[in-house]
Chains A and B, each alone.
Chain A
Amino acid sequence: MRDIAKYAGQAIVLLALVAGVGFLASSPAYQHFPEGQALIKMTFVHGGQHVGGCRRRTAAELEEMAANMRRLMDCPRDRLPVVIELDVDGQRVHREVIAASGLHGDGPAVYYDSFQVAAGAHSIAVRLRDTDREEGFDYEGSAEFVLEPSQLLVVQFRPEAGGFVFR
C-alpha cells in the first residue's frame, strides 16, 4: 500500500515536472512585434568618395621612397562619411552620418536599421550623399506603399541598380 502511494507520488512529481517543461517550451507567447504595425528596414554597404583629390609627388619625395613603393600620385585612402535621410509621409524619421568603416577609415559605410510605422498608406522618401557637396544629395528615391500589418518593407541602396531599391 505504502509502495503504491510512493509510486503514485513519483508519478505525480514526474508528470508535474514534464508539464512544467512542456509549458515553458512554447508559452507564454511573446509579442515580438505589435499588431497593426509595419516595419521598414533600410540597409546598405556603400563606400563614400575618397577624401580630397590626389597630389603629384615631388622628385625629391620620390627619391626618398623605396623603389618598389614609388608611385607618382599620392591619393588619400580615407573615405567621406555617407549621409542618409528617411522621410515618411513628409516627416523626417531619420538622418544619420555614417562614418567609413575600417581602421584607417578607408572601408565602406555600413548601415542597417529598422523603423516601425503604422500599417496603411505611406509615402516614403530616402536620400543619400556620398560626396563632399555642401548641399543636396547624390541619390534620392521615393515611393508610395500600402503596408499591411506586419509587412516588412526593405529599402536598399544599390548604386549599380541606379540608387534606392524598395521591396
Chain B
Amino acid sequence: MKLVQRPICWGLDLVERVLDWPFGQVWNPLRHLGALGFFMYWIVAATGIYLYIFFDTGITAAYQSVEYMTHDQWYLAGVMRSLHRYASDGMVLFMVLHLLREFARDRYRGVRWFSWVTGAPVIALLFVCGITGYWLVWDQLAQFIAVRTTEWFDWLPIFGTPIAANFLTSDMLDDRFFSLMIFLHIAAPLLLLLVMWIHLWRVSRPKIHPPRGLAVGMFLAFIVLSLVKPALSHAPADLGKVAGIVNLDWFYLGFYPLLDYWSSGTVWAAALIGTLTLVLLPWMPPMRRAPAAVVHLDHCNGCSRCADDCPYGAVTMQPRTDGAKFDLEAVVNPTLCVSCGICVGACPSSTPFRRRRDIATGIDLPHLSLADLREAVGKASVGLVGDARVIVIGCENTLNGNTAGDVSTSYVTVLCAGMLPPPFIDYVLNRDLADGVVVAGCAREDCNNRFGNTWTEARIDRTRDPTLRRRVPRERLARLWLARGDRGSLGRRVSAFAETLKSLPKLPHKGDEAPVPPVLRKSENTENA
C-alpha cells in the first residue's frame, strides 16, 4: 500500500508547496478539496434551478430550448449553462483529488472507514448526475450516450427487451424515457446531497465551506471560463445516423470509449472490481489500530472541553455515574476515536505540575499517556547546554522520526500537536528545562487530525480553553506549522529560533509562582502569522 501512497503523496506535497506561495497555507485549494466539492455543488444546484425554468422537457423541444439559452440568452442562461457544466466538472476534479489525498495521507482506514466507504456512493451518484445531464441536451452527444449506456445496461439480464432498441429510429423515440432521465437528473443530485451529508456524519465541524477569498477567486475563475468558452451543444440528435466524432466531457464520459474497445461484460467486471477495491480498501493490510482514549473519572470534572475539541465527535458528555458532585462525565466511543490525543490536550486536569506519582488526567491515551509525556519532556532536557536550549515538541507526522537533536536541541514526539496540554509549555520554561519551546505540527488547515494545530494556536493565543498562562513569555515559544513538503526545513527553523533566544534577558526561574514577565507580544516565528 505504501508503494501506491508514496508517489501520490510526493506529487501532492510538491503541488502543495508550490501553491503555498501564492495562496498561503490557509487558502491553499489543496487543503479544501472536500469543501470545494461542496462549493461546486451549490453552484451547480443554483444554476440548475435557473436552467430548468427555460428547459423544455419534451424530447423534440429540449434541444431548441437549450439552444435558446446558449445563443439568445447567452448573457444569463448561457453563462448559467456554462457554469452548470464546468462546476460539475470541477466537482469531479475536486472529488478525485480529495479521494487521492485522503488515501495518500492514510486517512481512510481504521475508524475513518465510514467517510471512505460513504464516498463510494457519492462517486456513483455524481456520475449519474453528469451522464443524465448530458442526456437532456438531446444532441448527438446525448444520442451517443443514450445508445452506449443502454447497450451497456442491456448486458445485465434484467430487461426483457433491449432498452437500446428505444433509440433505433426517431419514430420509436418516446417522451417517457426522456422524462425518466429528467427525473433522474433532479433526483440524483438530491440523493447526492443526502449521501454527502451522511459522508460527514462522523466528522465533527466538517469544513464544507472554503475560505471566502478562495471561494470568490474560484467562482470568478469559473465565470471567466464560462465567458471565454461557453458550453455548446453538438448538432441535434439524429437517430438515422451514428455520431462519428463526439466531444466527450472526459470528467463524466471518459469511460465511454472503453465500451467501444471492451465488451459490456468486461466493463461491468471492471466497474465491479473497481468498486469492491475502493470499498474494501480500509480493511486491507497493513492494519493499524491504536487504542482509543480512556476516561479517568476521578480526574474528570465534566467540563466537556474534550468533547468540544475532539475532531471526530468521539467524546460525548453523559450523566455522572460515579457519584461525584459534577453533573456530567466524558465518555469515549472507541469506534470513533482515532487516538489523536487532542482530548488530552484539552483536559484541564492535564498538568505536569504535580508529583510524579500523581500525574494523571481526566482523559488519556493508553499508548502515550500524560505521564509518559512528562517523562519524555524531562528526559529531553537532560544534557542540554548553552543559553539557547530548545525543546521541540512536535507531532509524529511533522517530526517523522527525525528526533536526533544535538547539544542544545532535543525533540519530543506527540501524536498530534493538539495533544500537548498548554501547561507543559509553561512547565518547560518555568522549571528551566530549556530556554525556548517549539511546537511543531502540520500546516494550517491541514492537520492530520483536523484541528490539532487550530486548537493549539487558539490555546496559546488564549482564545480557547485550556489557555496558556499569561506568564509564559511568548517570545520563548515558536509555533511551526509546516507543509509536508517543507518538513526538511524544521532543523533550520529551530536553529533560527534558538538564535533569537540568545539575545533575550535571562528568565528568573524556579517555583510554581515565578513572577510574570512583562506583557508579551505574539511570537514572530509563526508561519504565516
Contact = CB atoms under 8 A, between A and B. Distances in A.
Interface string B189-209: 000000000000000000000
B225 A22 contact: yes
B169 A19 contact: no
Which interface class (under 10, 10 to 19, 20 to 34, 35 or more) fits B?
Answer: 35 or more
Given A13-B19, A21-B86, A110-B160, A26 B221 contact: no
A60 interface: no
B108 to A, nearest CB: 25
B165 A112 contact: yes
B168 to A, nearest CB: 5
Interface in B207-221: 217-218, 220-221
A104 B71 CA distance: 56
B228 interface: yes
A110 B249 CA distance: 33
B162 A110 contact: yes
Interface string A21-44: 110111101111111001101010
A161 B299 CA distance: 88
B168 A25 contact: no
A103 B377 CA distance: 73
Interface string A121-136: 0000000000000000
A43 B162 contact: yes
A82 to B, nearest CB: 14
A112 B163 CA distance: 10
Contact of B168 (A8, A32, A41): A41
Interface stretch (A63-71, A88-96, A146-154): A146-154
Contact of A25 (B29, B86, B240): B86
Contacts of A31: 244-245
A26 B19 contact: no
B159 to A, nearest CB: 9
Contacts of A19: 225
A24 B150 CA distance: 24
A45 B160 contact: yes
A14 interface: yes
Interface in A32-83: 32-35, 38-39, 41, 43, 45
Contacts of B85: 25
A157 B249 CA distance: 36
Interface of B is mostly: helix
Given A13-B19, A15-B224, A151-B240, A43 B168 contact: yes
Contacts of A25: 85-86, 89, 231, 249-251
Most B C-beta atoms less than 10 A away, residue of A6, A110, A149, A152: A152
A26 B22 contact: no
A120 interface: no
Nearest to B21: A9
A43 B165 contact: yes
Most B C-beta atoms less than 10 A away, residue of A11, A19, A22, A33: A22
Interface in B66-120: 85-86, 89-90, 93
30 contacts: A6-B24, A7-B22, A10-B217, A13-B29, A18-B90, A19-B225, A21-B93, A21-B225, A22-B229, A25-B85, A26-B248, A27-B247, A30-B245, A32-B242, A32-B245, A32-B257, A32-B260, A33-B244, A34-B244, A43-B162, A43-B165, A107-B160, A110-B162, A112-B162, A149-B244, A151-B241, A152-B168, A152-B241, A152-B242, A154-B169
Interface of B: 19, 21-24, 27, 29, 85-86, 89-90, 93, 144, 151, 154, 160-162, 164-165, 168-169, 217-218, 220-222, 224-225, 228-229, 231-232, 239-251, 256-257, 260
Given A34-B244, A112-B165, 19 more contacts: A6-B21, A10-B27, A13-B29, A18-B90, A18-B225, A24-B89, A24-B249, A25-B231, A26-B247, A30-B248, A30-B257, A33-B242, A43-B162, A45-B161, A112-B162, A150-B244, A152-B240, A154-B169, A156-B168
